Amino acid sequence: MSMMNHTAPAMRPLSGAVQRLACLAVQPILSRVVKRIAARHSSLFARLGPHQTTDYLIDPVELPFALHLRPDPQALLFRAVPRESLPLSGAAIRGPFLLLLELIDSEEDGDAAFFSRDLEISGDTEAVVRLRNALDDVDGSIAEETADLFGPVGRAILARLRRSYSDATKGNMYT
Amino acid sequence: MSLAELICPAGTPAALRTAVDAGADAVYCGFQDATNARNFPGLNFTPDELAEAVVYAHAKDAKVLLALNTYPPAGKVDLWRQAADTGTRLGVDAFIVADMGVADYIARTHPQVRLHLSVQAAASSPEAIRYYCESFGVKRVVLPRILTIPEIRQIRREIPCEIETFIFGNHGLMVEGRCSLTNYLTGQSTNMDGICSPASEVDYARHDDGSMSSRLAGFTIDCFGADEMAGYPTICKGRYTAPHRPEAYYAFEEPVSLNLSRLLPQMIDAGIHAFKIEGRQRSKSYVRNVVSAFRAAVDDIRAGRTANIADLVALTEGQKQTQGAFETKKWR
Amino acid sequence: MAVNDMTKLTLGPIAYHWSADTRRDFYARIADEAPVDEVYLGEVICSKRAPFHEADLPETIDRLERAGKTVILSTLAEVMLKRERKATEDLAAMETPEIEINNAAGLFARGKRPHRIGPFMNAYNEATIRWMAGQGATHICLPGELPADAIAVAAKAARELGLGVEVQVFGRASLAVSARCYHARAHDRTKDNCQFVCEADADGMPLRTTDNSPILRVNGIQTQSESYVALLPETGELIANNISHLRLMPQAVDMVAVATVFRDVLDRARAVDDADAMLRSVCRTTPFSNGFYHGKAGYRRIAMASPA
């Protein structure tokens, strides 16, 4: 649960070794999460169309690593990658971790986040639009499904994350 | 006082369920092809998805309106005819059409299904609207976003069908159904392909000073300063220079959204039958927030209470909103 | 082979706010010197401009008809205000000359009496054309963004119904119309208070991107292409595909020379390459485009393979 320590906006830069350790620590979780989502929501692959084999870089700015997603149903890939050695990607999405989480769950509107410049995208814009639309067609909360994987502790952590994010950002997003 | 139906966008089945649950009277949607004007990647419905959506909506007393509101190029009309046949079979409550050939086909082949005239037909006078009513039995017209409320009131007296107007969302500047700007730069047509500023042709470039350029097919549409709100990379919301305007300016319109929540009481009083929320390309979050807010407002007004419209600004493009043409002719 | 006795060259309505004097001189010269068969007159873009040249219309019509040209009056593309509805109704009530309708309000007023369908009417396909023919249309001008394969299908259907079929082969493409006047906006005015600033831009007001690429032209409520559509090498294919009328849109260049170049190609009096070079010199630095015709981005210029 190393993610938990890094939600504060100001974070000390971590050394390359620590980044790589963090990646190793979260990898089993990421693999479980993405397999479960793929199994439960197989229809989202159809909406990805030709971008099932696109390499997406999801970059939560305050975490010590970024996430590399290739949503290929034949060879699903979701892994943490250290900032110092990011892979080549077809599209990149960058923003605060919890904003990204809320976007995945449609708690937040992607276009609005883009208008407000909280969200940055680069690379193949169609790939990003397809991923967004595919995720948006998923009913329920991917974040909660993920938290459920870890039982009551997972759910408590998610609730705390949301509270701190809400306190930190909601004030200025809606004024 | 009119029924003031809320007509809500659905880009995906999940968005449709969200809209229905948030209080939509009707939801509009389209197939995953050129037959509708939001033919965007990853969006819209397969026939199977539409079948389930119709069942879901009808179970909760909401209608489903199928947008067939593009213009088939010669030689491809069958795709639109088949979409109409499929929609009829699945039990949609109305077709939203723009092309006369498509309207004529539905009026002859599926006369039991209501026809709504899309904003893409750009019928902005009583005579134009009556032409479609008398020719194809159109039951409702979606008015272009270019009229003031007194003008809408006047039109209502002179036409035999219901009126639907936009109340929230993207603020289209050009007369709908008459715009080839996207095709001029990208080779993909809004009218024939249902495509506006295709994502595949859009790219964003970040500069060292924190500013960001948006480009369409290699043409720079806008450049946002580090602290500026951004907008959609559409040609009509771009910044350009002119000979006497060496500083780039928004030659057509700034990135703003239409928000008529404050005019809602007047519009209901004017006898507008239905209010349309734009945004099939937006998220469930947008649909949930906007539909709930307008549901509450319409219910308040109809019950004689003062409507308390939640602040919807955060969802608007550039986080700026306008009442556009509806409030004053000065907009023109 | 005299292929082209059948193919007519037409001059579209002036899109810009040229002064009454400019228009008088322009049409006098067209009447005397331009090898066009048919001329469309009337204000299509902005109803505020109409009073400036309406008074001259009868004389212009007479002048052109005496020179052997067929005259057609075009209606407004956008009809919203009382004066626009009235203008449309008045034109639709006329028996002669012919009229070209650009808005459904005009179709309503005209009923089943004969009329032409203008380029703003969105006659994109054979189903729509069949409907329109059944309502009294005698002639269709196809939308400017229609690609060649669709043009061929639409034109075949129209000719089988006995209709004339027209395609714009020269001049800026109309890309959009709006209720808002962008000329007025550029000068911090509104449409009601425009003081006719559009008169200063005889060929439209150029817009450039922030990195200095020319992109669009503003003409009041209309947005046009920066490039001139020029379908000179394509004329043979158009005619083979049943197009009966080729439309030249008036630009601020020597339109008699433009018409002559096209006429020469139709008459096979001049090789296409040679004609293209002449057209190039008449139009100076303005870029040419044919992308829409070839199903590509409209601004592009696609090289046409020489016909065998």
| Interchain CB contact of A111 with B (< 8 Å) | yes
Kindly give the interhelix angle for B100-109 and B77-90, rounded to the nearest 10 degrees: 40
Q: Are strands C222-230 and C288-289 parallel, antiparallel or unpaired?
A: parallel
Confidence at residue A142, expressed as pLDDT on a 0 to 100 scale: 78
Which residue's structure tokens are 């590509």? C296
- H or E stretch at A65: strand A65-70
pLDDT at B307 over 90: no
pLDDT at C6 over 90: no
% of chain B beyond a pLDDT of 70: 96
Residue C236, domain member (yes or no): yes
Contact C178 B173 (CB under 8 A): yes
* ipTM field: 0.96
Contacts of C191 in chain B (CB under 8 A): 329, 332
Contact B220 C211 (CB under 8 A): yes
- Among B122-136, C69-83, C294-308, the least confident range: C294-308
Contact B187 C154 (CB under 8 A): no
Total domains in chain C come to 1
Task: Tell me the C-alpha to C-alpha distance, in Å, between residue A118 and each of A92, A126, B231, B248, C92.
Answer: 14, 19, 13, 25, 55
- Dihedral of CA C26/C63/C56/C21: which sign? positive
Give the residue, B229 or B125, on which the prediction is more confident: B125
| Interchain CB contact of A145 with B (< 8 Å) | no
Q: Please name the member of B121, B135, B178 whose beta carbon is closest to the beta carbon of C177.
A: B178
Where does the pLDDT of residue C233 fall: very low under 50, low under 70, confident under 90, or very high at 90 and above?
very high
Confidence at residue A165, expressed as pLDDT on a 0 to 100 scale: 66
What are the boundaries of each domain within chain B?
Answer: 5-171+256-331, 197-250
Pair of tokens at residue C294: 């070839």
Contact C186 B73 (CB under 8 A): no
Contact A117 B284 (CB under 8 A): no
Contact A126 B318 (CB under 8 A): no
Confidence at residue B318, expressed as pLDDT on a 0 to 100 scale: 61
- Assign domain B5-171+256-331 to a CATH class: alpha beta
Contact B206 A122 (CB under 8 A): yes
Contacts of C149 in chain B (CB under 8 A): 75
Q: Please name the member of B105, B221, B252 whose beta carbon is closest to the beta carbon of C182.
A: B252
Q: Please name the member of A49, A131, A136 whose beta carbon is closest to the beta carbon of B284.
A: A136
- Dihedral of CA B218/B222/B223/B224: which sign? negative
| Interchain CB contact of B220 with C (< 8 Å) | yes
pLDDT at C140 over 50: yes
Give the residue, C116 or A33, on which the prediction is more confident: C116
Chain A closest-CA separation from residue B126 CA (Å): 36
Q: Identify the CA nearest to C243 among candidates C164, C170, C171, C169.
A: C164
Total domains in chain A come to 1
pLDDT at B122 over 90: yes
Contact B127 C105 (CB under 8 A): yes
Confidence at residue A7, expressed as pLDDT on a 0 to 100 scale: 36
pLDDT tens per residue across span B39-64: 999 999 999 999 999 999 999 999 99
Contact A132 B286 (CB under 8 A): no
Contacts of C108 in chain B (CB under 8 A): 127-128, 130-131, 134
The range of the structural domain enclosing residue C52 comes to 3-173+228-274
Q: State chain B's mean pLDDT as an integer.
A: 92
Contact B41 A133 (CB under 8 A): yes
| Interchain CB contact of A121 with B (< 8 Å) | yes
Residue A2, domain member (yes or no): no
Q: State chain C's mean pLDDT as an integer.
A: 95
Confidence at residue C222, expressed as pLDDT on a 0 to 100 scale: 98
Count Cα neighbours of B17 within 13 Å in the Cβ-side half-sphere: 13
Q: State chain A's mean pLDDT as an integer.
A: 80
Contact B314 A174 (CB under 8 A): yes
Nearest chain B residue to A118, by CA: B229
**CA angle, corner C31, sides to C27 and C36, nearest 5?**
105
Picking from B173, B178, B191, B241 by the largest number of C CB atoms within 10 A of its own CB, the best residue to mutate is B178
Residue C153, domain member (yes or no): yes
| B·C CB contacts under 8 A | 226
Where does the pLDDT of residue C150 fall: very low under 50, low under 70, confident under 90, or very high at 90 and above?
very high
Nearest chain C residue to B240, by CA: C209
Strand partners, B8: B27
Contact B131 C130 (CB under 8 A): no
The CATH number of whichever domain residue A79 belongs to comes to 3.30.1050.10
Strand partners, C223: C176, C218
* Residue ranges with strand state E in chain C: 8-11, 38-41, 70-74, 98-101, 115-117, 137-141, 164-177, 205-208, 214-219, 222-230, 245-248, 288-289
If you average pLDDT over each of B225-234, B285-294, C92-101, C219-228, which comes out highest? C219-228
Chain B closest-CA separation from residue C257 CA (Å): 27
Main-chain dihedrals φ then ψ at residue C74, nearest 5 degrees:
-100, 145
Q: Do chains A and C touch (3 or more CB pairs under 8 A)?
A: no
Picking from A48, A52, A101, A106 by the largest number of B CB atoms within 10 A of its own CB, the best residue to mutate is A106
Residue C89, domain member (yes or no): yes
Pair of tokens at residue C162: 């006995």
Chain B closest-CA separation from residue A52 CA (Å): 12
pLDDT at B299 over 80: yes
Main-chain dihedrals φ then ψ at residue B4, nearest 5 degrees:
55, 55
Q: CB of C117 within 8 A of CB of C123?
A: yes
Which of A146-150's residues contact partners 24+ apart within 8 Å by CB, and which partners? A146/A33, A146/A36, A149/A29, A149/A32, A149/A33, A149/A36
Confidence at residue C290, expressed as pLDDT on a 0 to 100 scale: 98
Nearest chain A residue to B202, by CA: A125
Q: Do chains B and C touch (3 or more CB pairs under 8 A)?
A: yes
Q: Please name the member of B200, B224, B285 whose beta carbon is closest to the beta carbon of A109.
A: B285
Task: Tell me the C-alpha to C-alpha distance, in Å, between residue C247 and each of B32, C7, C28.
Answer: 36, 11, 19
pLDDT at C192 over 70: yes
Confidence at residue C305, expressed as pLDDT on a 0 to 100 scale: 61
- Among A33-37, A92-96, B192-196, C247-251, the least confident range: A33-37
Type of residue numbered C260:
T
Where does the pLDDT of residue A9 fall: very low under 50, low under 70, confident under 90, or very high at 90 and above?
very low
Confidence at residue B66, expressed as pLDDT on a 0 to 100 scale: 98
Strand partners, B140: B116, B162
The range of the structural domain enclosing residue A116 comes to 14-140
Spatial separation of the C-alpha atoms in residues B205 and A120, rounded to whole Å: 10
Other CB atoms within 10 Å distance of the CB of residue A9: 10
Q: What is the mean pLDDT of residues B107-114?
A: 98
Confidence at residue C1, expressed as pLDDT on a 0 to 100 scale: 38
Contact B42 A129 (CB under 8 A): yes
Where does the pLDDT of residue B260 fall: very low under 50, low under 70, confident under 90, or very high at 90 and above?
confident
| Interchain CB contact of B163 with C (< 8 Å) | no
Which DSSP symbol is given to C117?
A: E
- Among A169-173, B104-108, C258-262, the least confident range: A169-173
Where does the pLDDT of residue C137 fall: very low under 50, low under 70, confident under 90, or very high at 90 and above?
very high
Contact C190 B330 (CB under 8 A): yes
Residues 6+ apart with CB under 8 A from A163: none
Pair of tokens at residue B225: 């300063």
Confidence at residue A172, expressed as pLDDT on a 0 to 100 scale: 38
Q: What is the mean pLDDT of residues B125-147?
A: 96
Pair of tokens at residue A79: 């892994």
Confidence at residue B241, expressed as pLDDT on a 0 to 100 scale: 98
% of chain C beyond a pLDDT of 70: 97
Contact C186 B242 (CB under 8 A): yes
Spatial separation of the C-alpha atoms in residues C92 and C100, rounded to whole Å: 9
* Residue ranges with strand state E in chain B: 5-9, 26-29, 63-68, 94-97, 114-117, 140-142, 162-170, 202-206, 212-216, 219-224, 239-242, 245-250, 257-259, 274-277, 321-322
Contact B240 C145 (CB under 8 A): no
pLDDT at A38 over 90: no
- Among A98-102, C164-168, C244-248, the least confident range: A98-102
Chain B closest-CA separation from residue A134 CA (Å): 6
Give the residue, A98 or C225, on which the prediction is more confident: C225
Pair of tokens at residue B20: 């229905």
Contacts of C77 in chain B (CB under 8 A): 178
Type of residue numbered A146:
T
Q: Identify the CA nearest to B115 among candidates B124, B51, B99.
A: B99
Q: Identify the CA nearest to B182 among candidates B216, B215, B154.
A: B216
pLDDT at B191 over 90: yes
- H or E stretch at A95: strand A91-95
Spatial separation of the C-alpha atoms in residues C190 and B325, rounded to whole Å: 12
Pair of tokens at residue C164: 């004339």
Contacts of A125 in chain B (CB under 8 A): 199-200, 202-204
Where does the pLDDT of residue A15 fall: very low under 50, low under 70, confident under 90, or very high at 90 and above?
confident
Chains with ≥3 CB–CB distances under 8 Å to C: B
Confidence at residue C292, expressed as pLDDT on a 0 to 100 scale: 98
Where does the pLDDT of residue C223 fall: very low under 50, low under 70, confident under 90, or very high at 90 and above?
very high
Q: What is the mean pLDDT of residues C226-238?
A: 97
| Interchain CB contact of A109 with B (< 8 Å) | yes
Instruction: Sort residue B303 into left (φ over 0), alpha (ψ -120 to 50) or beta.
Output: alpha
Contact B230 A115 (CB under 8 A): yes
Contact B283 A126 (CB under 8 A): no
Spatial separation of the C-alpha atoms in residues C72 and C42, rounded to whole Å: 9
Where does the pLDDT of residue C3 fall: very low under 50, low under 70, confident under 90, or very high at 90 and above?
very low
Q: Integer distance in angstroms from the first to the last C-alpha of chain C?
A: 15
- Dihedral of CA C104/C109/C113/C114: which sign? negative
Task: Tell me the C-alpha to C-alpha distance, in Å, between residue C177 and each of B95, B134, B195, C106.
Answer: 26, 26, 18, 17
- Judged by DSSP in three states, C153 sits in helix
pLDDT at C204 over 90: yes
Chain B closest-CA separation from residue C107 CA (Å): 7
| Interchain CB contact of B290 with A (< 8 Å) | no
Residue C202, domain member (yes or no): no
Confidence at residue B330, expressed as pLDDT on a 0 to 100 scale: 74
Main-chain dihedrals φ then ψ at residue A121, nearest 5 degrees:
-130, 150
Contact B314 A134 (CB under 8 A): no
Q: What is the mean pLDDT of residues B61-89?
A: 98
Contacts of A47 in chain B (CB under 8 A): 12, 42-43
Where does the pLDDT of residue C2 fall: very low under 50, low under 70, confident under 90, or very high at 90 and above?
very low
Q: CB of A88 within 8 A of CB of A55?
A: yes
Chains with ≥3 CB–CB distances under 8 Å to A: B
Confidence at residue B229, expressed as pLDDT on a 0 to 100 scale: 83
Contacts of B285 in chain A (CB under 8 A): 106-109
Residues 6+ apart with CB under 8 A from A52: A45, A71, A72, A73
Where does the pLDDT of residue C144 fall: very low under 50, low under 70, confident under 90, or very high at 90 and above?
very high
Length of chain C in terms of residues written: 308
Residue A8, domain member (yes or no): no
